[in-house]
Amino acid sequence: MGYATQKMAEEKVFKDPVHRYIHVRDQVIWDLVNTREFQRLRRIKQLGTSYTVFHGAEHSRFNHSLGVYEIVRRICDDVFPGRDAWNEGERLVSLCAALLHDLGHGPFSHAFEKVFNVDHEDFTRRILLGDTEVNAVLARVSSGFPQDVADVIAKTYRNKLVVSLISSQIDADRMDYLQRDAYYTGVSYGHFDMERILRVMRPLEDQVVIKLSGMHAVEDYIMSRYQMYWQVYFHPVARSAEVILRKILQRAKELDANGYEFKQPLRHFQSFFDRTFTLKEYLALDESILMTYFQLWMEEDDPILSDLSDRFVNRRLFQYIEFDPGKDFRKLAELAVLFTKAGIDPEYYLVDDSSSDLPYDFYRPGEEGERLPIHLLMPNNEIKELSRSSQIVDAISGKRRTDYKLYFPEELLTDGKKKAVKQQIRDMIREGER
């Protein structure tokens, strides 16, 4: 019996608060979990800076990755077998892609990617195909298997049905994170009847479709998603922490570019400043390392780096006001001038930020990544796009909603120095609150 189909003598289970138990019988999956690249995901939080608002949101990407695997495993083992469109030979590649789909995420990846211009999807691919323990496990299955897994995650795999399990508007990734993030934050959104959705999923040529009888469960899922985005993922206070984080990294990079001598001699960041980093250097980073740097940087002489680091570590965040970039662009410029006058660098202390979401969309060729719509399987075996059957989904379909905020350190505007100009700033800001 080959490695691809090798089962462990006894099933392993992980106790999981969301799915109760996560079941592993395949030796390949067990070996992947035990690689150092996968274990590294324990040191990267699933929700980045959200823990600064929702103190329960301290769970890692390790958690979530196991969860996505478990959902796909249930589909492959309980729902799809025996159906025409499903090819048992795609089971293992589906499980591996589910487990490994977030492998390339770096520490606080949102901010990190922006500042250092890296892309976690690119790193997922490099880990799968490069000189890693994960690659060694996958290559034991077959020489082409690492590439297959990478293709599924990159959505270029030949079998689009497999791709749609992991990446579609109702995929295992989203079904896990909505429930999981709801569980750890403790919010009452994020719940939907996944059991029912799994029961009514059907493989159909190049996609997963949903039987009409499950339409209301899917509506509920889309509403959960909508609520989680606006209540949790886009929470303005978590974004304040994110803004500061980004500005710390930007400041450090700038200081290095300007020849600043850091007191601390560690070199984890050097190759990122220089843009010479290797895969190994990327994998050496995690959120422990970043938190350690931030604490060291609190002792640096540069007042901006030191202040921002202190803010992040000790949660002294920026305040914010609503901000309409179309209407208020002139105001932002004026505020920048006033900040400079007040001795506060607007580059680091006056930051606009936006979050934007499209709750659901039907297929629009050529636009926005051509997201796959959700299709219903009607009783007469026809296929119908969801928003054509669901009044509620139709109502929100294709409607992008964006939230803009302007962040700044309120207490710096009320201390004793430069009183007049600060008063002017405060007046302008107070207007924005009205």
**Which residues ranging from 49 to 78 are in contact with a copy of itself (CB under 8 A)?**
51, 54-56, 58-60, 62-63, 66
Site residue total, a copy of itself (CB under 8 A) = 71
Residue 4 burial by Cβ neighbours in a 10 Å radius (0-12, 13-18, 19+): middle
Of 175, 177, 166, 169, which is closest to residue 194 (Cα–Cα)?
A: 175
Q: Is 189 in the site for a copy of itself (CB under 8 A)?
A: yes
Specify the residue, 158 or 280, whose C-beta has the smaller distance to a copy of itself: 280
Minimum distance of a copy of itself from residue 62's CB (angstroms):
6
CA distance 174 to 177: 5
Residues 286-325 that bind a copy of itself (CB under 8 A): 286-289, 291-292, 295, 313-316
Rounded to the nearest whole angstrom, what is the least distance from the CB of residue 73 to a copy of itself in the complex? 15
| Closest approach of a copy of itself to the CB of residue 327, in Å | 18
Cα–Cα distance for residue pair 96/172, rounded to 1 Å: 13
Instruction: Give me the residues paired with residue 202 across strands.
Output: 209
In the three-class reduction of DSSP (H, G, I as helix; E, B as strand; rest coil), residue 92 is classed as helix
**Binders of a copy of itself in range 355-394 (CB under 8 A):** 379-380, 391-392, 394
- Within 229-258, which residues bind a copy of itself (CB under 8 A)? 230-231
Torsional sign, CA 131, 136, 138, 142 = positive
- In Å, what is the CA distance from 326 to each residue of 109, 329, 357, 377, 429? 28, 6, 18, 43, 17
| Contacts (Cβ under 8 Å, ≥6 apart) of 346 | 335, 336, 339, 340
Task: Pick the binder of a copy of itself from 257, 284, 333, 383 (CB under 8 A).
Answer: 284
Smallest separation, CB 39 to a copy of itself (Å): 5
Site for a copy of itself in 166-185 (CB under 8 A): 183-185
Q: Map the footprint of a copy of itself across residues 390-419, applying CB under 8 A.
A: 391-392, 394-396, 399, 401
The residue among 228 and 342 lying less far from a copy of itself, judged by its C-beta, is 228
* 132 versus 159: smaller Cβ distance to a copy of itself: 132
The nearer residue to a copy of itself, 24 or 93, going by C-beta atoms, is 24
DSSP 233: I
Please report how close the Cβ of residue 42 comes to a copy of itself at its closest, in angstroms. 7
Q: Who contacts 51 (Cβ-Cβ below 8 Å, separation ≥6)?
A: 45, 57, 58
Q: Which is nearer to a copy of itself, 186 or 343 (CB)?
A: 186
Of 85, 154, 187, 279, the residue at the interface with a copy of itself (CB under 8 A) is 187
- Which residues ranging from 194 to 223 are in contact with a copy of itself (CB under 8 A)? 195-196, 199, 216-217, 219-220, 223
Distance CA 405, CA 323 (A): 5
Non-local CB neighbours of 286 within 8 Å, separated by 6+ positions = 40, 43, 44, 107
> Are residues 217 and 200 in contact, defined by beta-carbon separation less than 8 angstroms?
yes
Tell the smallest beta-carbon distance from residue 336 to a copy of itself (Å).
26
Which of residues 38 and 339 has its CB atom nearest to a copy of itself in the complex?
38
